[in-house]
Each structure stands twice: as structure tokens, then as C-alpha cells.
Amino acid sequence: MAETMLSVGIDLGTSTTQMVISKLTLSNMASAFTIPRIEITAKEILFRSEIIFTPLKAQNEIDIEKIQHFLDQQYRLSGVQRAEINIGAVIITGETARKENARSVLQGMSGYAGDFVVATAGPDLESIIAGKGAGAQEYSKQQHTSVVNFDIGGGTTNIALFHDEDLLDTACFDIGGRLIRIEQQTQKIIYIAPKLEQVIVQEQLSLRIGQVVSPADLKPLLKILVAVLENAVGLGEKNPYYELFITNKGLKLPANIVCVSFSGGVADCFYKELTDPFLYGDIGLLLGKELCQSKLFREKKVIVSKETIRATVVGAGSHTTKVSGSTITYTAAALPLKNLPVLKLSKSEETGTQEIICQAIKEKQQWFEVNQESQMIALGIEGYANPTYQQIAHLATAIVSGFSAAIARCDPLAIIVHLDNAKALGQAIFSRLPLDYPFVCLDGIQVENGDYIDIGMPLIQGSVLPVVVKTLVFE
Amino acid sequence: MILKAKLFGKVYSFQSVMDVMAKANEEKSGDRLAGIIATSSEERVAAKVVLAQLTLEDLYNHPAVPYEEDEVTRIIIDDINQRAYNKIKHWTVEELREWLLATTTTDYDIKQIARGLTSEMIAAVAKLMSNLDLIYGAKKLLVTKTANTTIGEVGRFSSRLQPNHPTDDIDGIMASVMEGLSYGSGDALIGLNPVDDSTESVKRILTKFEEFRNEWEIPTQTCVLAHVKTQMEAMRQGAPTGLVFQSIAGSEKGNTAFGFNATDIAEAKHLALQQGQVVGPNVMYFETGQGSELSSDAHYGVDQVTMEARCYGFAKRFDPFMVNTVVGFIGPEYLYDSKQVTRAGLEDHFMGKLSGISMGCDICYTNHMKADQNDAENLLTLLGTAGVNFVMGIPHGDDVMLNYQTTGYHETATIREILNKRPTREFEQWMEKMGFMHEGKLTSLAGDASVFLKK
Amino acid sequence: MVDKQEMKAMIVSILEEMTDPSSTESATKVVEKPINKQEEATVKEATEEVLEDITQIDIRKQFLVPHPADREGYLKMKAKTPARLGLWRSGPRYKTQSMLRFRADHAAAQDAVFSYVSKDLIEEMDFIEVATKCKDKDEYVTRPDLGRQFDDENIATIQQQIKGTPQIQVIVGDGLSSAAIEANIKEILPSIKQGLKMFDLDYDEKAVLFIKHARVPAMDKIGELTKAEIVCYLIGERPGLVTAESMSAYLAYRPIVGMPEARRTVISNIHSGGTPAVEAGAYIAELVSKMLQHKKSGIDLKEVE
């Protein structure tokens, strides 16, 4: 009884914008004699949009109307109706996400990704998504090895380290192909990113806006950028600008990184002929060439990425959606739920008395109160490997009393359990709530504080819910 | 035809040939459940006395299920060689037994004559044999079959690696595959019993097996033991099918209960030769087990040894690479304890080999049976001595999906060492190349699955 | 001169070389150590200490391969299956610890089959106790036909105790594992009851039948005797070595004797390592409501869904 769902991924990057539509196949992996276990068994990309430069109005303002127009056009080309989309993710990445207007852009876009989700990406999430889209995680699993993926875009390089399928760490550097933009005809510099300005000053390089440049002029700067990326996986001597280029953090450098892979636009530049070094009006081609000569290529095993410039969008479209366990409880009226911040009980809270659990829930809700206005949250708990009926009953009582204020406001409740408890716990909560109260209690999904969660409409005769967990804080 | 015998002055009379056959059986709880068992030990011997004097023609004329009613009977009768049959039809079962056991009778001689034997004759002679007779008789019979590799050669002892997993988790399955291979298990087959019997699942696992087999250049066969029709659908959809599997029974009614008939098997075999990855000519894999006909009420009042022999008669038409009697899985209502399981294992192996089948045995027991691992090890040693083509190999003998116990990876290695046997020729070379085996003995690498994690 | 430390290091390294299976498979040299131990042990009195409970070792984490090519990868792979992997060997045979654990698990499995559900539990749960025609466990395992039939006395008990025509009749049977019932029944029954409430349904907890020597088709007879709309039957599964405590639930809409097996809806694998009893109970409650809604069970129910 396979069923499919459509997932859309939209990547709004510093330099380019694109979308993909993926078909995810869900199948029951359990025998006919046990409780169903629904898994995503196949992922197929149905449609890849063309790649456009992210339309900007003024220097740093995204032109939302043009993006809407682009998406309309792409939906028409794909033959997929927006209403058919079950779930998906919009990823606003790199410098774009930091623009003041990112929030309003997202609001303007929400209808364009179907009736679901809008996600903002922090650099960590972006690294993970790109690494998955590039196939680094899959390779690490197949070959039982460690792989670092460098997703080198226009403004940032997002790094994810996988070992035998497990995600170990992420990092991000402000290094990309469009840190310097050059007018193709005149070869004049038209933009220099602020951090590069700093380097130029300190290194006393003669690179100024308006100046005509040759590849040779840029060489010292490119060498620094490449050295920082080498440093990122522990190669070479520490460059003095290493710290400067860190966006949020570097890798914690576990001992042996065996393989590296590259995605993002710059990864397409490695093997291009250098007939016109400024073909794209930036330093991407030259950066690519420089990387080819680097220690990364000489000292690590370079594996071929499944996706390069599309890694992030494919990751967003195909690798962000999970499905819940198949024994869950919800009222359909509560769905879909979008962008709920996760409040996770600590182990000691969860194993505490009813009073402790109830208090913890009450206190944590206050964290999310902005200007005395409360926000809906999703409660994350670990659950029990083999609960007694009493344990479930106590937990349900504590949760309902912890959310008394939310219940008074008629806010839907969302309970996200890791272990297989959600049907019993949901029924227990149901019996303690007012009649027909909207709530979702699902399991099979692990969340942490700092995550945001989207829950889509039910699938497979209502037995499972599609879920996107957006990990914004990464341990 | 005489159906009466006197023992200690008492006359025992039997209703029919099949009544004699049932009562001549060694004690089996399944025959008791069916209500056809000898009522005393003396009656059992009396039945054997009668059986010994029946001619092969008597058995030919009284098949377990009438020719007109049953496809399996038709296949058995139609496929025998009339010239060979006419030569021996006047023999009594006693004469057949003694001829088979004679030192002067060779494998070559037996193969000439065996073409004229119906399954009922084969079952009858097994009933007159003691356990050691069954071992001695089977030991003579060499049956080799070829798929990608050749099984059953002199001095070889193979195993099917059974990497079952309670949820078909592919990584969990592969973990068992890797470790088994490092112990030298899997030279007959890497064969999974899937939890999920769907086409998708079969395709997914077959593809993974084939990828792994190619990556490490492993000379063996693979199989996912779903229903034959599911495997056929997977083949049509391009799955890299190895051997094609089906559980079979000794009557058409039994096969119908399993959801197939002879035409389906013929079609499956044709498809496998046309589209599968196995070179052949032997591409089929069947499983049997005493008692399965009774459990689906398809036994026609016939004893379980005779019905089992008929499975081999049916199988023979499709010239399988291997047939596996799953001897202790069915439970104590058919085979009560280790004594009955041991007997059944030896009977099945002998009858299969005499039928010209590449015979192996899943030497196993369930937890509601009066048996334990020592009993499994005993039967393993007996069958190893009898020259069984293959046994099962599973981590520590514990099947975590089917919830029964069989022989482990270690058992294959141990029997090879005790009886000075080797894996199939090609697989032995592969093990030497991988460094798991040297001159027939396990090396220090054997048992380390993580060798396959390093490339 | 070599000092004490160096001497110790040398001895350790020589010993390691001797016992390293990668340098030699020969057992003769390794034997010396246990002999010494034994001599020591003979002079000592027995103490009050208790050896570690080997059945508490998590098999998924137990790892005995001495020099794996990739320890971490092996453990990770092992964690994905309950199969007894990575337990190494002594020559071609099993290590003593893994062999003992196998035997312990088999002992638990056999005991689960051949023991009875405790009287205390049956009393505590207030079950109505009946038995099939089997006279003992031995007859039970060899005569599946008798495990589905009741004599007149038991039929009378059922008819007297179950009054009216229940909408939902709950039955508990020992089946092939009494241990499964003892481990799960106290958790699953209240969970079913709670779940049924969500659908405005209920069952009478004073009218739960307990069947000794029970086979699955016994539920059909109970269905006929009570005329219940739904029979929900919790029964011990044939144990494996992974667990002896696995329980199944069989549900049928208006079961009758001789009905096709396909009319049963089965949920197996209810135990602490499979579907937890409490969660299974919640699922069963929802199934019951679906069966009542569609007036179907088994394959028929799947088809309408």
C-alpha cells in the first residue's frame, strides 16, 4: 500500500534562486500481522526549475514580486498544481537570510510552497540540507566513512561533516563566489564584501571598487580564501584570517576526515575552461580553479557530489520531510501546524513527579512569551521504551495541567514524543481535555530545544503525519 | 498383494497400501494427529513386514492421491522412465532396500534405476531403513547442481546464509550477511525470509544483495524468499533475481493452499532463465517439511513421510539448484521431539537424494518442541556424515525473525573441519582471496564482519 | 638493567603475542592461564557473592571480536539488528559466554511454553477462568484441535458468567507463552479501556474470560457462545530467544467456528522490545471502533479501508 506525497523545495540564495518538486513514496514496512510502520522508501525529483539570479531591487533588497512571478512560471512548467503539494521547505540562505526583509519575503512566499511551511535557515540547517542534497551523507553511509561537504555558494561556504550516516558537526564561513563582483565587459570591480575589504586593507592589496582587475591581481586574496577552507578541515597552517571568515563556528575537528565533496555554484567551476575568467561577473570561477590546486584535492579523497548548484534545493525538497510513527492521536482540525518552536523537557523534568513536569511546561512557555503575548509551542518529550499504563496516565495529567493557560485560550496542543507512546498518551490526553479539543500527539520524531516543527496533513488513511523538523541550533 | 502379517502369533491386517505405508512409519506425532498411526509398536513392525513384501508395481498402482485428481501424482508418474521402471517393477521393497545398500551398487547404478522410482516407492524403502541405513544409503548418492556455482561436489559442504531481520532493516540484514560470509557461510545461497512480502520489498533487498555481491565479487546465489508470484513480478520489473523460491507440498491441494500450481513454477523458471542473474541451468529453490500437507488439510489420509517424498517428485520436474527440508519448524504436533526430528531429517535427506534432488536441511526446532541446540548439533553431524549438500547458517543459530533455532555460522565451519570438507570450489577460492580461509581452516579474520566496512 | 616497569611491559607484550589470535590459532599456549586460576580457586571457600546476571547483558551491545577491522562500524551495524552478531568464536565454536546466554534464553522460552499463568494474577485481574479440552501442556502442544474446544462444564460456565450479548468481549489466553500474559496483560487492558472511551465504547472488565490451554480458534467458540459483536483475544505467542514475552491480539467481528482465518485481524509482537503493551492497547481500541463501524474484520476490513 504505497502512497506518494509531493514535496517542494525552494532555495532563495545570496546569488541564485531555484525550486524542485520531489515525489516521496511512503510504504508500510511492517508485516500484515503487526502494527504498520510507514517509512519514506523512495525519493524522486519530478521537476527542477531553471536557476535564476536572485532578483534584487536595491542593493540588498529582494524583489519579492519577481520571485513570485518566477515561481508561478515554474509551477506552470512543472504541471504540478500548488494545491497538490503536501509539504516542503523554503530555505532562505546565506546573506539573503540576514537581510532585513527576509521575514516579509517569507510571508510573501508562503502560498507559493503549497499549503504548508515556510522555513528560514540558519547556517547549520543550510549546511545539513546541502550536505544531504549533495549525497555526502549517503556516501558516508554506503562506504562507512567520513565525508565533509563544502557547499560553496555566492556568499557563504556551508560545511557538514557526516560519519557513517551520522551528522557529526556543521560549520559556516563567509566565503563564496560573489564576494567580489566584476563587470564582465569592463573587468571593473563593482562590489567587495565587507570582510574582504578588511583583508584587502590589512594585506595592503590594491583592489578597489571601480578598478579594472586581472586574475593575477586576485590571486593573493584567493589563496587566503582557499587556505581558510583548508584550515576548516584541519589542513595547512592556521591562516591569520581564519577566525575572521567564520560565520558562526568552525568544525570541532574530529581526528580523521577521509573524504570531501563539493556542492554549490562554485563546485561547477572546477573543471570549466578558463576562456573568460569573469564569465559570471564574479570570482567564482577563479575560486573554483584555486580550490582544484589546494590541499583539499591533494590530501583528501574527493568524491563526486550527486548535486552541485542544486544541492541545497534538492536537500530542501527531498531530505527535510520525515513521517511520524503510525500509532498517533490527533484531531484533524488541529492541522496543519506551522513553524512551532519546540520546548523539550529535560530528562530530569520528564522523569520527575507530575508537579515537576507541569511546572516545567508552565515555565518554559513563558520563554516564548513576547510582549505578554503567548505563542503556540510544541512540547517535545522522550517518552518511555515500555511504559506502564500509570506512567502514561501521569504524563497526560501533567501535560494537560501544564498547558492549562493555552487550553483556556483554545490554542491547539502539539506533543512530539520520540519513543512509541503517542497513541496511548494521545488518548490519555484526549480524555483529560474538553470535548473535541484540537491537539496532535505524534511519535517517532526526535526534537530538541531550539528546533522548529511543521506538521502537514495526514497521509496513508490518516495513519501518519508528515513532519519537517528545522534544526536551528546544532550541538 | 498381501496386506496381512502375523507377529508373535497375532494377525495384523491393513486396509490399503497407504494404510500400510502410514503404519510402517516410525512414530511421528503428525501421523497421530491425522489418526493414521500404528496403534502399537508391534503393529508398526507388522506394517513394515507387509511393506517389505509389496512390489514396486503395487506402489505404482496405488499412488497416495489418484492420478486423475492430482497434478503432483501426474507429474510423478509422467516423469518416470518406463524402461527403468519395467526393469524393477517386480522387485519387492525389501529387494530395493538391499540392492541400494549393497556394497557393489554404486551411485551410477542407482541413478539408472532411480529414474524408474515413484515417490511412493522412495518413501516405502525409507520406511524400511534404520537411521544408519539412511545415512549409508544417502552417502552414496552424489547430486551436483549448477547455478552461478556448483553445489554437491565430493568433499564440499555448503550453507545457506539466512540473514533474517524482524523488520527487514537493510543495514541489519547486511550486518548478518557480512558476518556470515566471513565465517564461510553463504556458499549455497544468501537467502532472506522477508517480513514484508511485497514486490517493492523484494526488489529493494535483491538489488542490495546484488550490489554487494558485485562489489565484493562473491561467487554465490541470492534469493528473497517471498511468494513465487511476487518474485516473478519483481523479475518482470527488472529486479536482479537469483534463485526463485517456493514452498511446495506433496499434493495439488497443498500447493493450491500455498497459492500456486505447476504451471506457475514452470513460468517462474522460464522467467528466471530469461531475466535472472543466475547462469543456471538450475535456478529453482524449494522448501518442504513433513506435516505441511496435514496442516492445510491436503494430506488425503496419507502419512507425512510419503507426502514429503512426493514433494521431491514434484520438485524434480523443475530441476532445482537446491531443496531444503525445514525439518523442525512446523512444531510438536507434527514432529514431537528431537528423536522424531532426527528421524525426519535423515528420511528427507535420503528420499531427496534418491529422487535426484540437491538436498539440504534446515536443522531446526521451535521453542514449544522437546528439543534443544544439542539435538540440532547431533542431527547436523549425522547429516554431515550422510553427505548433505547444505545446511542453514544464521547468527548463533537464533532466527530473530521466524523465532526458531537452527544451525549457526559456526556449525558450518565446525562440520567442515571435522569432516574435512570445503565450501563450493569458487567460494573457497574467494574466501582464500579475502583471507578468511587458508587450506580449509578459518583464519584470524574469520568472524570479523567489519572487514567489509573497510574498502 | 631493566627496571620493574620495563620488565612488566615486556611480559605483557610477550603474553599478548602469545594469546593474539592473529599471530596463531594454536590453543595449547593459551591453556596455561586457566589452569593456574583453578589451582588458586581450589583453596578458597565459597563466598556470598553473586555472579553477574548474564541475561541482563544487552546483546546488541555485547561485542567479543578481539581485533576488528572497524570496531565502531561493527557496533553500529550490530545495533541495527537483534541478531547475535560480533560474538566471535573459540576455534570454530562459540565463546562460553554467548553459548550460556543462548541456553539461558532458550530455557526462558521453554519455560514460558510449559508453565502456567499464575493463579494470583488471574484472581487479581478478576478474570473468569475456563479451560479447553486439553488435559495438560503436553496434550496442548500436540493437539491443536483440542485447544479450540470446550467441554460442557466450561461451556456452562461461559454461558452463566457472560450475561446478555456483549458488544465487545475481551478474552485472555495463555497460548504458547504464559510469560507473555504475565508481562503485558496488566498494562494493555486499561489502555484498551481508555482508548475505547475516545470512541464512546467500553467493555465489561468483570466479564473478561481467561482460557487455559488456549489456541487461537478458541475465540470462535466464545464468539458463538456469547454472541459478542467483537471478540478481542489476547494470547501468548510462540516464544523466540529474543523474547519469551511476546503477545498477540486477535480480533474478529462476530467470529463463528470454522470461519476463514482471513477474518481475523492480528497484531503480533506486543512486548517491551516490540510494540509496548500500552501503545498496542491504544491501537486495538481504534481497531475495535473501525470494526464496529464497518461491521467487518481481517482482510474484509482492510478492503473497505
Q: What is the pLDDT of residues A206-230, one digit of tens each?
A: 899 999 999 999 999 999 999 999 9
CA distance A208 to A213: 9
* Mutation for testing the A interface, residue in B164, B192, B195 having most A CBs under 10 Å: B195
| Peptide bond between residue A336 and the one before it cis (omega within 30 degrees of 0) | yes
- Say if the Cβ atoms of C272 and A386 lie within 8 Å: yes
- Say if the Cβ atoms of C85 and B451 lie within 8 Å: no
Is the confidence at residue B413, as pLDDT, over 60?
yes
Average pLDDT, whole number, for chain B? 97
In this complex, is the C-beta atom of B167 within 8 Å of any C-beta atom belonging to chain A? Answer: yes
Q: Model confidence over A12-25: pLDDT tens digits?
A: 887 889 999 999 99
The residues, any chain, with a CB within 8 Å of residue A454's CB and separated by 6 or more, are A87, A116, A117, A119, A336, A337, A338, A339, A340, A467, A468, A470
- Say if the Cβ atoms of B368 and C176 lie within 8 Å: yes
Is the confidence at residue C44, as pLDDT, over 80?
no
Q: Which residues of C touch A164 (CB under 8 A)?
A: 72-73, 76
Q: Which amino acid is at A261?
A: S
The residues, any chain, with a CB within 8 Å of residue B452's CB and separated by 6 or more, are B178, B181, B182, B216
Annotated domain spans of chain C? 114-304
Q: Which residues of A touch B198 (CB under 8 A)?
A: 27
Is the confidence at residue C34, as pLDDT, over 60?
no
- Say if the Cβ atoms of A385 and C305 lie within 8 Å: no
Residue B440 is predicted with a pLDDT of: 92
In this complex, is the C-beta atom of A388 within 8 Å of any C-beta atom belonging to chain C? Answer: yes
Is the confidence at residue B382, as pLDDT, over 50?
yes
Q: Model confidence over B287-297: pLDDT tens digits?
A: 999 999 999 99
Is the confidence at residue C18, as pLDDT, over 70?
no
CA distance A347 to A324: 22
CB-CB: which of A27, A31, A41 is closest to B195? A31
Does the C114-304 domain belong in CATH 3.40.50.2020? no
A&C contacts, CB < 8 Å: 84
HSE-CB at B39 with a 13 A cutoff on CA atoms is 3
> Given the C-alpha cell 586574475, which residue does it identify?
A215
Instruction: Return the SS3 of C108.
Output: helix
Tell the burial category of C120 from Cβ atoms under 10 Å away from its Cβ (0-12, 13-18, 19+): exposed
Mean predicted confidence (pLDDT) in B191-204: 90
Q: Model confidence over A365-377: pLDDT tens digits?
A: 887 776 667 778 9
C230: β partners: C168, C253
Contact by Cβ (8 Å): B113, B80: no
Instruction: Return the SS3 of A377.
Output: coil
Is the confidence at residue C29, as pLDDT, over 50?
no
* Mutation for testing the A interface, residue in C261, C278, C289 having most A CBs under 10 Å: C278
- Say if the Cβ atoms of B367 and C145 lie within 8 Å: no
Instruction: Return the SS3 of C233.
Output: strand
Q: Which residues of B touch A29 (CB under 8 A)?
A: 167-168, 196, 201
Please give the CATH topology (third level) of the domain spanning A3-121.
Answer: Nucleotidyltransferase; domain 5 (3.30.420)
Contact by Cβ (8 Å): B453, C70: yes
Percent of chain B with pLDDT over 90: 98
Q: Model confidence over B78-133: pLDDT tens digits?
A: 999 999 999 999 999 999 999 999 999 999 999 999 999 999 999 999 999 999 99
B360: β partners: B324, B390
CB-CB: which of B171, B175, B413 is closest to C92? B413
Can you point out the beta strands (E) in C199-257? Answer: 209-212, 230-236, 247-253
Measured in degrees and rounded to the nearest 5, phi and psi for residue A16 equal -125, 160
- Say if the Cβ atoms of B195 and A143 lie within 8 Å: no
CATH number for domain A124-302, candidates 3.30.420, 3.40.50, 3.90.25, 2.60.40: 3.30.420
Mean predicted confidence (pLDDT) in B170-177: 97
Under the banding of pLDDT at 50, 70 and 90, the label for residue A34 is confident
The residues, any chain, with a CB within 8 Å of residue A353's CB and separated by 6 or more, are none
Q: Model confidence over B217-241: pLDDT tens digits?
A: 999 999 999 999 999 999 999 999 9
Residue B454 is predicted with a pLDDT of: 79
The radius of gyration of chain B's CA atoms, rounded to the nearest angstrom, is 21
CB-CB: which of A35, A392, A427 is closest to C198? A427
Subunits adjacent to chain B (3 or more Cβ pairs under 8 Å): A, C
* Mutation for testing the C interface, residue in B450, B451, B452, B454 having most C CBs under 10 Å: B450
Subunits adjacent to chain A (3 or more Cβ pairs under 8 Å): B, C
Under the banding of pLDDT at 50, 70 and 90, the label for residue C2 is very low
ipTM value for the complex: 0.95
Nearest CA-CA partner of C54 in C124, C119, C108, C130: C108
Q: Which residues of B touch A2 (CB under 8 A)?
A: 200
Lowest mean pLDDT among A60-64, B250-254, C299-303: A60-64
Alpha-carbon separation of residue A290 from A171, A238, A276 (angstroms): 21, 18, 15
Element (H, E) at A365: helix A354-367
Q: Which residues of B touch C271 (CB under 8 A)?
A: none
| Peptide bond between residue B281 and the one before it cis (omega within 30 degrees of 0) | yes
Nearest CA-CA partner of B358 in B441, B424, B262: B424
SS (H, E, C) A198-257: HHHHHHCCCCCCCCECCHHHHHHHHHHHHHHHHHHCCCCCCCCCHHHHECCCCCCCCCCC
Under the banding of pLDDT at 50, 70 and 90, the label for residue A167 is confident
Segments in A28-183 forming alpha helices (H): 64-78, 94-98, 102-109, 123-134, 136-142
Is the confidence at residue C1, as pLDDT, over 50?
no
Residue C33 is predicted with a pLDDT of: 47
Average pLDDT, whole number, for chain A? 88
Can you point out the beta strands (E) in C106-243? Answer: 128-131, 168-173, 209-212, 230-236
Select the more confidently predicted residue: C232 or A106.
Answer: C232
